[in-house]
């Protein structure tokens, strides 16, 4: 295969992986992209395979992640360089596992190993581009309830590697390579690899949207909108708060007129009060007033600028991104803020700048990003009738963060998000796809409340029950959702499937390396010469 042909193939393969993600949502393009990528690198040494893997990963992840640099400039390219390695390194190891019987299986395991690494490193991880997050509407999605996002990615790559293997078995060798297998057995093995993931996903029972006798509540997600997009929206903090108060009061009017059911719980987005309501009496009074008027708890996304202890001395430095439960006036319960969760997993280059001195050399916008402080504790709030699990914006990408909420007793999940920071990009739609997969993974309804859109209500089976319209428009969603306490196999197993699959992939690469060494010894089979 000519170099130019390989280059085109690598780019098309990467674009196929990208196309699987929202808003396109062509989930079937991902296994085709994997198959094409393996065809491009088949027969190449590890160094060349790494290079083609980098090219494919750039075609995949640059359009997927470019929103991260919308307002901080070229500094985001550092994050891009890191996540590219999560694809390029497993692809570089493909020539090794190619030597081991059952190569499609081992390639799928290696891909999971790459995603496991980027889940954790660097800067606490940046796993936004996991293949699983492009599969919420596809045949592989229900695998999430069995083994979480890692099992979904595994199924996708296994199918793609199976397609590559099938083409090889059927007699289309590359650059003179002999067939990897022949006859009915080889074809059957390739077909198993292709079909195992989607068939297993389709036969896995879907979670029911509602079950007889289970408790349900009516939830309202308020999307107040922002004065303008980008980092500067925070300069009009009072306008953002006022917008959410206004939309909540319009909801109260519709409830009073009988046009909308009365909610049991109201959820505002992340940063809906960028004014600290604990430090600003006006903001606190406004939030309390509208909470009293609607008469149910309101979960407020607030930026807390500091805190003091009983002695009056500060003990927290820097802002914190919090979800605060605000309770209405009642004779039987306290009034005001009754519970809060502070976001634990902060977005690098968005909520804090790693290597700030170096990053500032690439963009003057770095100085505009104030480093937030991470929180601690279980991400579950006592919010009226619900035990509300909170994955604030970026946290929804982390397997452990969402699982912590469910194992901590959450019977409903919410993803409060401030997508206004990233302008008119696809970030919000990608996040919605992740939230759909989390609903399937843990058998929980998910409520997405976004400042500027797109807010959504997602059923436990991953279906979108309701959503707002165009970005940068106000709106309110009011829907009935189940409160569910069941646990899926994925919830119970936690990271175990990921670690097993990753270990198998690394072990297969080591075995392939051993075979390569033996074949280079005198009397062994000749190794690759290309």
Among candidate residues 517, 453, 460, 504, the one with its CA nearest the CA of residue 221: 453
pLDDT tens readout for residues 334-345:
689 999 999 999
Q: What is the pLDDT of residue 172?
A: 53
Per-residue b/e over 298-314, b at no fewer than 16 CB within 10 Å? bbbbbbbbeeeeeeeee
Give the C-alpha separation, 433 to 463, whole Å.
10
Helix H, strand E, coil C: the string for 29-45 is HHHHHHHHHHHHHCCCC
Which residues face 325 on adjacent strands?
Answer: 299, 339
For 377, which DSSP code? S
Is 293 designated active site? no
For 292, which DSSP code? H
Please state, rounded to an integer, the average pLDDT across all residues of the chain.
90
pLDDT tens readout for residues 410-425:
999 999 999 887 878 8
Among 119, 130, 393, 441, the active-site one is: 393
Whether omega before 129 lies within 30 degrees of 0, making that bond cis, reads no
Give the C-alpha separation, 332 to 321, whole Å.
29
Q: In the predicted model, what is the mean pLDDT of residues 368-378?
A: 87
Distance of CA 263 to the CA centre of its chain: 28
Q: In the predicted model, what is the mean pLDDT of residues 476-487?
A: 97
Give the C-alpha separation, 446 to 411, whole Å.
10
Please provide the DSSP assignment of 111-155 as one string. Answer: HHHHHHHHTTTTTT---TT-GGGG-TTSTTGGGHHHHHHHHHHHH
Residue 176: band (very low, low, confident or very high) from pLDDT cuts 50, 70, 90? very low
What pTM, to 2 d.p., does this model score? 0.92
CA distances from 414 to 27, 88, 243, 420, 435 (A): 25, 34, 20, 18, 9
pLDDT tens readout for residues 192-249:
999 999 999 999 999 998 888 899 999 999 999 988 655 454 457 788 999 999 999 9
Between 169 and 215, name the one with better pLDDT: 215
**Residue ranges in 170-302 assigned as alpha helix (H):** 183-203, 237-256, 281-294
- CA angle 117–436–226, rounded 5-degree value: 95
Among 130, 247, 343, 441, the active-site one is: 343
Q: What is the pLDDT of residue 184?
A: 76
The phi-psi region of residue 175 (left if phi > 0; otherwise alpha if psi is between -120 and 50; otherwise beta) is left
- The answer to whether residue 98 scores a pLDDT higher than 70 is yes
Is 130 designated active site? no
Terminal-residue alpha carbon distance, the chain: 11
Residue 71: band (very low, low, confident or very high) from pLDDT cuts 50, 70, 90? low
- Report the percentage of the chain scoring pLDDT > 90: 74
Is 109 designated active site? no
Q: In the predicted model, what is the mean pLDDT of residues 108-119?
A: 97
Q: What is the pLDDT of residue 316?
A: 57
Among 115, 119, 270, 286, the active-site one is: 270
Question: Under DSSP, is residue 265 helix (H, G, I), strand (E, B) or coil?
Answer: strand
Q: What is the pLDDT of residue 431?
A: 96
pLDDT tens readout for residues 499-530:
999 999 999 999 999 988 887 766 555 544 34
Q: In the predicted model, what is the mean pLDDT of residues 12-40?
A: 98
Among candidate residues 293, 208, 201, the one with its CA nearest the CA of residue 250: 293
Give the C-alpha separation, 335 to 327, whole Å.
5
Residue 401: band (very low, low, confident or very high) from pLDDT cuts 50, 70, 90? very high
Which of 123-132, 286-295, 365-374, 395-404 bottoms out in mean pLDDT, i.e. has the lowest?
365-374
pLDDT tens readout for residues 310-320:
444 455 568 99
CA distances from 254 to 258, 260, 262 (A): 6, 6, 9
């Amino acid at each position: 295969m000519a170099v130019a042909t390989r280059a085109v193939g690598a780019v098309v393969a990467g674009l196929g992986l990208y196309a699987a993600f929202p808003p396109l949502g062509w989930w079937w393009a991902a296994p085709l992209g994997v198959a094409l990528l393996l065809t491009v690198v088949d027969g190449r040494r590890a160094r060349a395979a790494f290079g083609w893997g980098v090219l494919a990963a750039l075609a995949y992840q640059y359009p997927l992640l470019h929103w991260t640099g919308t307002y901080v400039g070229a500094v985001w390219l550092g994050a891009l360089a890191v996540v590219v390695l999560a694809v390029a390194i497993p692809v570089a190891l493909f020539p090794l596992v190619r030597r081991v019987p059952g190569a499609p299986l081992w390639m799928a395991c290696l891909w999971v190993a790459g995603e496991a690494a980027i889940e954790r490193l660097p800067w606490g991880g940046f796993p936004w581009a996991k293949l699983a997050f492009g599969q919420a509407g596809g045949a592989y999605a229900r695998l999430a309830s069995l083994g979480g996002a890692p099992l979904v990615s595994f199924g996708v790559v296994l199918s793609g590697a199976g397609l590559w293997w099938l083409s090889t078995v059927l007699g289309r060798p590359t650059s003179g390579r002999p067939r990897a297998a022949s006859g009915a057995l080889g074809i059957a093995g390739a077909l198993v690899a292709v079909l195992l993931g989607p068939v297993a996903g389709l036969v896995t029972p879907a979670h029911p949207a509602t079950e007889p006798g289970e408790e349900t509540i009516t939830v309202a997600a308020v999307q107040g909108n922002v004065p303008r997009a980008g980092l500067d929206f925070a300069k009009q903090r009072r306008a953002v708060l006022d917008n959410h108060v206004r939309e909540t009061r319009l909801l109260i009017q519709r409830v009073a007129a009988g046009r909308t059911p009365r909610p049991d719980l109201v959820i505002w987005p992340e940063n809906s009060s960028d004014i600290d309501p604990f430090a600003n009496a006006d903001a606190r009074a406004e939030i309390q007033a509208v909470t009293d008027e609607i008469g149910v708890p309101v979960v407020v996304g607030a930026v807390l600028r500091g805190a003091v202890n009983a002695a009056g001395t500060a003990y927290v430095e820097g802002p914190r991104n919090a979800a605060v439960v605000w309770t209405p006036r009642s004779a039987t319960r306290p009034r005001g803020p009754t519970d809060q969760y502070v976001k634990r997993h902060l977005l690098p280059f968005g909520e804090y700048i790693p290597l700030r001195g170096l990053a500032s050399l690439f963009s003057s916008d770095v100085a505009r990003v104030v480093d937030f402080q991470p929180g601690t504790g279980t991400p579950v709030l006592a919010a009226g009738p619900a035990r509300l699990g909170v994955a604030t914006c970026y946290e929804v990408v982390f397997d452990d963060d969402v699982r912590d909420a469910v194992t901590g007793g959450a019977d409903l999940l919410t993803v409060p998000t401030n997508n206004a920071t990233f302008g008119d990009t696809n970030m919000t739609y990608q996040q919605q796809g992740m939230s759909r997969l989390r609903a399937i993974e843990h058998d929980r309804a998910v409520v997405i409340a976004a400042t500027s859109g797109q807010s959504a209500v997602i059923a436990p089976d991953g279906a979108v029950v309701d959503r707002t319209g165009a970005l940068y428009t106000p709106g309110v969603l009011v829907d009935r959702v189940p409160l569910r306490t069941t646990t899926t196999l994925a919830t119970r197993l936690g990271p175990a499937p990921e670690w097993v699959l990753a270990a198998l992939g690394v072990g297969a690469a080591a075995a392939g390396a051993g075979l390569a060494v033996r074949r280079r010894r005198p009397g062994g089979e000749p190794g690759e010469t290309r």
